[in-house]
A and B are shown apart, each in its own frame.
Chain A
Amino acid sequence: MMRYLAGRLLRALLTIFLVVTFAFFVLRLSGDPALLIMSVDAPPESVEAFRISWGLDRPVWVQYLRYIVHALTGDLGNSMRDGRPALQLVLERVPATLAITIPAFLLKIAIGVPAGIYAALHRNSLADRMTMLFSVAGFTMPSFVLALLLVLVFSVQLGWLPSSGSEGMANAILPIVTLGAAGAAILARFTRSAMLEVLGQPYIRAASAKGLTWRRVVTEHALPNAAIPTTTIIGFMVGTLIAGAVVVESVFAWPGIGRLLVISVANRDLAVVQTILLFVAATMVTANIIVDLVYGWIDPRMRTSPR
């Protein structure tokens, strides 16, 4: 078990390292930050001075080695825009992002899982068809479309909720609903098919033949098995807690990591973008490890037999 965990951890670190490396080179190939930040008509001497002061005049591999060595000591570089440490800039934004992604995550589970279970248990009923209709609508509709629709109804027409900003709790409601709806739709569909798969298994019929009530067959025999595949998708959703709200934060002008990412990419603010990608990779990888551990806990077939 410890060896397995160590191997898993090593692979996770390798993944993060590869993501950081990839981001480093792609960012430097896709545009010159000096020209973007100094503006195009700046005198060539000051552009050159900017390059030298940020180390951009050196060969890329030297820049890369410097970056890695500094990163290992916890220094992820400074923002080219305001000179503050990138890590600090990113960490400042984490609470705002989590303030919408965590409630949205809970919303997804609270709606998606029961809806999927209900639909599976009442297969082909009107309720099932309606659930699946909403589900298809929910995950095919791009989040910015849903966001704009919600703004149109609740901000413009009804005037109940603000359309953007971050002054208070009311501002968070529309972003949370937008994020939650799409996730709930995916989760409902996933849970439904997992449930249907399990309900068709011989052990469900065998449990009924044993004399258990249908309620106990469902809650004690079907649900624990359906939880196994559903865990995968929920784990994936945990992985998107940090970076899953890029579009929604932009539409609602919510000052989270997603919005910072968009602005930093546009400005070629290298250190900030790299730091965000490092965070994203780390959460994804952590979520994956958690899923693996939870798997072993809920599915005895995944555990290695001690004998």
Chain B
Amino acid sequence: MTEPLIDIRNLTVDFDTGHRVVRALHGIDLAIQSGEAVGLVGESGSGKSVTWLAALGLLGGRARIGGEVRFEGHNLVGAPASELEAVRGARIAMIFQDPSSSLNPVYRIGQQLAEALQLHRGMTSGAALAEAGRLLDRVGIADAMRRLRDYPHELSGGMNQRVMIAMALAGQPQILIADEPTTALDATIQAQILELLQEIRRDSSMALVLISHDLGVVAENTDRVCVMYAGRIVEDAPIATIFEAPAHPYTSGLLAALPELEGPRRPLVAIPGVVPEPWNLPPGCSFAPRCTEFEAACEAAVPPAVELARGHRAACIHARSGVA
């Protein structure tokens, strides 16, 4: 296997709330190859977004970050601001859940795109504006040159997400982190945006990290999926493996909750219980209280990730035998 593009090792995040310190990430190990498309799936609060915000140093002063994020020979954890600024947008771009409020309301679309182009490609403002128009056209916005003069509130949510994608492309990044890019959009627009991301990936060698709570969305758009639960990756496998042989009971639970398009109709099964609060984790495996396979040994220790096959890891004591 070649050297990964980005290699996250034992990444931890603690939030200092002033009263107590709460651990949000419990040692994430995640390596992404150049051009790969990886999905991050899990319920809210499982640490999907926090992983990438931490990697880029975007969590703010209250977060304490441990571990390593190796990228192009540097460790981004604890790196000086100037080094992180050189990575953000230019090497690793990120788009967010709520496109309309991720754009600055007081600037025109064109100004915001041109700002990124001037920053990353050193263009003059005239050249940047022309290139901004080309990028808008590239992400499928009709009448691009005229749209440059619009403000974000004059565009729909889907259009704004296209603008955000255009802005991410401005830096010609090696990785695009798409943090729930379609959650705030309606279903037809959602499909269009995902299609656009696929198209861009085909045209460039850009790696894609698709963060979603929707396993279905991830399955259709990525090669590999990491299932996260309560600040840990509980299973990491190629898409096909996840569907054919899920090793972690949580993954099986997510699959059972997913409707099938083909085959006989069956009732959807919800996973009982709720995600534990990060300051109130159960002993041992965090999923134990909700798990159908629960046994006393689950509470003894946090199960380590076990390599079941090439490219398939799971953190469950039952996974050792290869059956869930």
Contact of A211 with B85 at beta-carbon distance under 8 Å, contacts A300-B153, A301-B153 already known: yes
Whole-angstrom distance between the Cβ of B108 and the nearest chain A Cβ: 8
A contacts with B: majority SS: helix
Docked complex: A207-244 residues within 8 A CB-CB of B: 207-214, 220-221, 224-225, 228
Closest to A123 in B: B61
Verify if A53 is at the interface (C-beta below 8 Å from B): no
A300 touches B106 (CB 8 A): yes
**Chain B residues within an 8 Å CB radius of A224:** 104, 106
Partner of A210, one of B53, B88, B106: B88
Q: How far does the alpha carbon of A212 sit from the alpha carbon of B115 in the complex, in Å?
A: 9
Partner of A214, one of B81, B87, B120: B81
B81 touches A210 (CB 8 A): no
Partner of A211, one of B18, B106, B120, B164: B120
Could you count the A-B residue pairs with CB atoms below 8 Å apart for me: how many are there?
76
B86 touches A211 (CB 8 A): yes
**Chain B residues within an 8 Å CB radius of A64:** none
Q: How far does the alpha carbon of A83 sit from the alpha carbon of B167 in the complex, in Å?
A: 71
**Chain B residues within an 8 Å CB radius of A228:** 106
Q: How far does the alpha carbon of A202 sit from the alpha carbon of B90 in the complex, in Å?
A: 19
Contact of A211 with B90 at beta-carbon distance under 8 Å, contacts A205-B58, A300-B151, A301-B153 already known: yes
Contact of A210 with B105 at beta-carbon distance under 8 Å, contacts A205-B58, A300-B153 already known: no
Q: How many residues of B contact A (CB 8 A)?
A: 33
Partner of A208, one of B88, B98, B101, B115: B88
Whole-angstrom distance between the Cβ of B102 and the nearest chain A Cβ: 4
**Chain B residues within an 8 Å CB radius of A220:** 115
**Chain B residues within an 8 Å CB radius of A305:** 154
Contact of A209 with B58 at beta-carbon distance under 8 Å, contacts A300-B151, A305-B154 already known: yes
A209 touches B171 (CB 8 A): no
Contact of A210 with B151 at beta-carbon distance under 8 Å, contacts A202-B98, A202-B101, A299-B106 already known: no
**Chain B residues within an 8 Å CB radius of A157:** none
Q: How far does the alpha carbon of A203 sit from the alpha carbon of B164 in the complex, in Å?
A: 11
A209 touches B93 (CB 8 A): yes
Instruction: Write out, one digit per residue, whether chain A residues 279-307 have a CB within 8 A of any chain B CB (1) or not (0).
Output: 00000000000000000001111000100
Instruction: Write out, one digit per residue, whether chain B residues 146-175 have a CB within 8 A of any chain A CB (1) or not (0).
Output: 000001011000000000100100010000
A207 touches B153 (CB 8 A): no
Verify if B103 is at the interface (C-beta below 8 Å from A): yes
Docked complex: B203-222 residues within 8 A CB-CB of A: none
7 tightest A-B CB contacts, nearest first: A211-B89, A206-B102, A211-B88, A210-B89, A209-B94, A300-B151, A202-B101
A202-B101, A206-B102 given. 4 additional CB < 8 A pairs? A203-B105, A209-B88, A209-B96, A211-B86
Q: Enumerate 7 A-B pairs (CB-CB under 8 Å) in ascending A order.
A: A203-B103, A206-B102, A209-B93, A211-B85, A299-B105, A299-B106, A300-B108
Residues of chain A touching chain B, judged by Cβ–Cβ distance below 8 Å, are 124, 201-203, 205-214, 220-221, 224-225, 228, 298-301, 305
